[in-house]
Structure 1
Amino acid sequence: MPITSRILEVAAADPDRSALVGSPSEAESRAGAEGTHSLTYAQLARDSRTLFAAVDALHSAQTAPPTPAPETRDIPITAVSLTSALETSRIIAGLAGFRAVSATIDPRWPLSHQVGVITTTGIGLVISDSGVLAEALAAAGWTGTVITAAELHACEAAVDPVDTAPPTVREPSEPFLMLFSSGTTSNPKAFIKTRQQYRDNVDVSSAHLEPFPGVATLAPGPVSYSLTLYAVIESLATGGSVHVADDFDPFTMGSRITDEAITRIVAVPAVVKALAEAARRTPARFRGLDLVVTGGANLPASIRSALADVLPDTRLISYYGAAEIGFIGDSRDGDGTWISIYDTIGVDIRDESGARLPDGVIGTVWIRAAACSDGYVTGTTDAQLRRPDGWATVGDQGRIENGLLQLAGRAGDIAITGGHKVSLPEVERAFEEIDRGDRRSGQGRLGEVCAIALPDDSLGSIVALVIEPGSASDGGPGNSGMSDKAALLDRARAKLAPQFVPRRFYLLDQLPRTVGGKIRRHETVDLVMSGKAQRL
């Protein structure tokens, strides 16, 4: 492992087992790939030979190739920036058995972010169908190569298989993937995962998240998401079949689950919410689901409850992890806010000076895990990830009580008001149950909420709650009692400690979100401060 040894093993023992499966519509977009929307293990192993030969030739043909970041140990970097989840997965998996460092770049990132990471990290080959990106890279003086997916297929077809070498299991310390911690709201921070670090991560996830051999896992969404990318890696590393989709289409996913005998889904929380809504319309199509895995630590209770209501026999695991560090723990019961830490992972809560804090006190979460990256790639950030003693942090805040971890958000998710530390995600959780509607009280359905900190001369900051109206058919704030500040205050006072109770409430037609559906807290503050939200 991470995946090459298992790919070769399954290709020999069970060559027709499905490795990668895209949506049926993928066949129309894969010109030059025989119109297929799936690859068996045998096909994946065979095709990787011509894929790497074509990629290697493209790198070698450059007269002044970009210099790869020193963390790659001079291995050329190939980046994939395509909307096709199947094509991206095929390339990443195919290059895994060779001397190559691969990266996925979300084509929906701001153009400046895409150009920035490519030029800064020394990526030499970009597989992209975007002419705009190619022009921007040329204007930036980048000396690498941009090639479309169709052009890559043509290069592969021109390779004589006799002239290729087979994939092999690589050395543990060899760089494997270049990943990015961001790209939507700030400049992306790049980091490298070695093959051993990914093997260590597979050891943890296979022990707790059930990517068993032969299991069909659906991982909808861009492979540039670390959650989706890891679902592809872990499924191939354990001999499973990974079914990918460019996005989550509720009208077709039910039939795919039935037709392709999918029993496990790995998806972001927004997709889990859509899954529950789709299953409510056609529950029979989703009854084969055994397990849903999501990366949403502090998964909203409303999503957990909605899935349990419509699919009571489907288990839900929400894990906590960071792409830089790996899997840390998960929650399976109750409201999902308390995380059981995996037995191979060390967790400490520390203050700004690095001193360990007592149970119950919010501080910075520090992690010790074998899968942790060594640090960020030179030139992409000045932030420190890992200390010399092996402990690392991505800035998450949290507390430990009775051996369980509760997250309080990132540093920007903590408000200091009147000397008290207030977790803004904890404020939001107090309003989650209203999202399902309280018809008996006449309060109706509350839409999505975002707790923010606003500057205050006497307290330093105050807590405010910004509400996105629910749909009219559900009785949103614009047409129900939930637009009443008194009702909102009653709710907050019943659920929260006094310092956590919002002092102001606002309505905003639409909360700003990332491309992955996460609410942007800082942008919400900007909209409120600029007067674009209605104060209740």
Structure 2
Amino acid sequence: MPITARILEVAVVDPDRLAIVGGDGQLTYSQLAEGSRTMFAAVDALHHAQSDSPIPAPETHGIPITAVSLTSAFETSRIIAGLAGFRAVSATIDPRWPLDHQVGVISTTGIGLVISDSTPLAEALAAAGWTGTVITAADFQAREAAVDPADTTPPTVREASEPFLMLFSSGTTSNPKAFIKTRQQYRDNVAVSSAHLEPVPGVATLAPGPVSYSLTLYAVVESLATGGSVHVADDFDPFTMGSRITGEAITRIVAVPAVVRAIAEAARRTPARFHGLDLVVTGGANLPASIRSALAEVLPDTRLISYYGAAEIGFIGDSRDGDGTWISIYDTIGVEVRDGSGARLPDGEIGTVWISAAACSDGYVTGTTDAQLRFPDGWATVGDQGRIDNGLLQLAGRAGDIAITGGHKVSLPEVERAFEGFDGEVCAVALPDDGLGSIVALVIEPDSDSGGGVGTSGTPDKAALLDHARAKLAPQFVPRRFYVLDRLPRTVGGKIRRHETVDLVMSGKAQRL
């Protein structure tokens, strides 16, 4: 169901139903529909007031791009949802990105209007010669309030092929890449998630975290497209979320695995506040089995679905037990595993995962990357590696997550999963080796309060690590070297950067055990 069609429908039949709820306020469906009129009028006037407007990326078909770069999840959600019923392309830019990257993305994609409270960003854009407009959230709200509703037009259901959102890849292996989602692609994605992830009409979904995350942003769109209420939060505070779940009658949560772990810990302290929680949906990273077990222990009646998907492609499948690495593929999605030449591999062999899905974007935005997403045969890949066995897809990481050592393919995430339960964080890497091509090494970021697998000095015990690896892994998977780093490099979203970890080891900045 298109997002605007459902917003307008609920605004008529149940006008007081909550649409968006956050720390900054709340909006009913009626308020969202009515407020969108003056919101778009203010946006449209700001774009037209420019004497030398930035030229939007060709993938937008000439539609001006409005970006939101705010820490307020409520305000970001309000603007994205409000502009959905008009000729507008919206984008969310993470204000925690490096400043030069924010400037580069805005300049390269032709974003014309940025709603941001960051003075350094405004100054950097001006210094770069960008000709668009930066406006603070407060000033934008004042412009909305100054618009006479009589001079506005109502939101409408837009053409299916019209560009809708500009999104960005996660940036795990490189800087985020921009891509466009059309309205039909989002409708197709909602159809898949509605069939499997239960965003039913009227359900209250909590989606904590920055709306610049594709997982959170999609939860906002999905909830409104299905007539639900989306409850947003700038971050996850385990001390207040329990009371929100009870007070706001939240029964469904969409969040990354780290938040699911925090939910389990918070529920252990105050279980009564979480007993109304029916379903937790998680994605964005593999779900360690320990998190599933911890949640089941304290909230045995709460179901947990770990989905697999890519923002560029859409939902692909999900796992409902274990660590989320074995995926049941949705019946409307095509999946193949191919080698480097594009030939389909037999079951059981690791290769590149290719997807056929109606929700897939057409490609990346010109100028943001040279990578190709969708190929002439209609199939697409983001470089994920995996194998198919008995009709299930097992993920093995991205292309850089596979080590070739002595002729064996080794999944580095699989090595990492073997060390789940050890204190601290680990990152498995492939290091060059003259004899074997590469060798597997494990880089450890010790927990300051660690005990298991750590010596009396606070340094991990190599012998204990090696014994553990030999007991859990096939011989070719056992790390040949172990290193320690005070802090593993991460994206702004918290994902460990494997390539940068290799660079730190090779430059001698990691301590070898």
What's the TM-score, normalizing by structure 2?
0.97
- Which residue type is aligned with residue 6 of structure 2? R
Matched-pair contact (CA < 8 Å) for 1:2–1:195 = yes
1:10 pairs with 2:16 = no
2:509 is the counterpart of 1:532: yes
Partner of 1:220: 208
Q: CA deviation at 1:396?
A: 0.5
Match of 2:398 among 363, 385, 410: 410
Indicate yes or no: 2:484 matched with 1:501: no
Determine the structure 1 residue equivalent to 2:198. 210
Alignment of 1:304-383 (within 5 A): 304-383=292-371
- Among 32, 53, 59, the residue aligned to 1:65: 53
Match of 1:484 in 2: 461
The answer as to 2:90 corresponding to 1:97 is no
SS of structure 2 residue aligned to 1:319: strand
Aligned with 2:20: secondary structure? Answer: strand
Structure 1: tracts of 5 or more residues without a match: 27-36, 436-445
Q: In structure 2, what is the Cα distance between the partners aligned to 1:149 and 1:184?
A: 30
- Give the alignment of 1:449-468 within 5 angstroms: 449-468=426-445
Give the AA of the match of 1:461.
S
Per the alignment, residue 518 of structure 1 pairs with 495
CA 1:161–1:184: 2 relative to 1, 3 Å: farther
Amino acid at match of 2:487: Q
Q: State the one-letter code of the partner of 2:512.
A: R
Shift of 1:378: 1.0
Deviation at 1:296, TM superposition (A): 4.0
User: What CA distance in whole angstroms lies between the structure 2 residues aligned with 1:158 and 1:151?
Assistant: 11
Deviation at 1:305, TM superposition (A): 1.6
Instruction: Note the alpha carbon deviations across 1:164-212, whole angstroms, 9 max, x for none.
Output: 0000000000000011114576333111100000000000000000001
1:113-192 equivalent positions in 2, closer than 5 A: 113-183=101-171, 186-192=174-180
Distance 1:76 1:183 in 2: 25
Give the drift of 1:527: 2.3
Matching residue of 1:236: 224
**Within 2, Cα distance between the matches of 1:133 and 1:154?**
21
Name 2:291's counterpart in structure 1: 303
Gap change, CA 1:292 and 1:480, over 3 Å in 2: farther
d(CA) in 2 for partners of 1:475, 1:490: 13
Distance 2:262 2:344 in 1: 40
- Could you say what secondary structure the match of 2:240 adopts? helix
TM-score, normalisation: structure 1: 0.93
1:103 and 1:184 mapped to 2: Cα distance?
19
Divergent runs of 4+, >6 A: none
Deviation at 1:14, TM superposition (A): 0.5
Contact 2:442 2:481 in 1 (8 A): yes
Aligned-residue offset at 1:301: 1.4
Q: What letter corresponds to residue 459 of structure 1 in structure 2?
A: L
Taking the aligned partners of 2:419 and 2:451, their CA distance within structure 1 comes to 16
Checking the alignment, whether the CA contact within 8 Å between 1:49 and 1:161 is kept in structure 2 is: yes
Seen in structure 2, the aligned counterparts of structure 1 residues 428 and 187 have a Cα distance that, compared at 3 Å, is closer
Which residue identity is paired with 2:21? V
SS at match of 2:414: helix
Asked whether the equivalents of residues 232 and 242 of structure 1 are also in contact (C-alpha less than 8 Å), the reply is: yes
AA matched with 2:337: I
Write the distance in 1 (CA, Å) between the matches of 2:418 and 2:12: 53
Instruction: Say what the alpha-carbon RMSD is for the aligned residues.
Output: 1.5
Q: CA deviation at 1:60?
A: 0.7
Give the whole-Å Cα distance in 1 for the aligned partners of 2:77 and 2:210.
10
Cα displacement string for residues 45-91 of structure 1 (whole angstroms, at most 9, x for unaligned residues): 00000000000000011111111111111001000000000000000
1:39 partnered with 2:16: no
Does structure 2 retain, via aligned residues, the 8 Å contact 1:470–1:477? no
Question: What code does the residue aligned with 2:63 have?
Answer: I
Seq. identity, %? 88
Could you tell me how far apart the structure 2 residues matched to 1:100 and 1:115 are?
Answer: 21
The CA deviation string for residues 237-268 of structure 1, in whole angstroms up to 9 with x for no partner, is 00000000000111111111111011111011
For residue 321 of structure 1, give the secondary structure of its aligned residue in structure 2: strand
CA contact (8 A) 1:113 1:183 kept: no
Deviations along 1:109-140, whole A, 9 cap, x unmatched? 01111111111111110000011111111111
1:449 maps to amino acid: V
Q: Is the Cα contact below 8 Å between 2:171 and 2:491 reproduced in 1?
A: no
Task: List runs of 5+ in structure 2 lacking aligned partners.
Answer: none
- Decide whether aligned partners of structure 1 residues 281 and 289 sit closer, same or farther in structure 2, where only a CA change above 3 A counts: same
Q: Tell whether the 8 Å contact from 1:346 to 1:368 is kept in structure 2 after alignment.
A: yes
Matched position secondary structure for 1:89: helix
Matching of residues 68-79 of structure 1 within 5 Å:
68-79=56-67
SS at match of 1:318: strand
Going from structure 1 to structure 2, the CA distance change for 1:478 and 1:251 (only over 3 Å counts) comes to farther
Using a 3 Å threshold, how does the CA distance of structure 1 residues 305 and 431 change in structure 2: closer, same or farther? Answer: same
Kindly provide the amino acid, as one letter, of the partner of residue 468 in structure 1: E
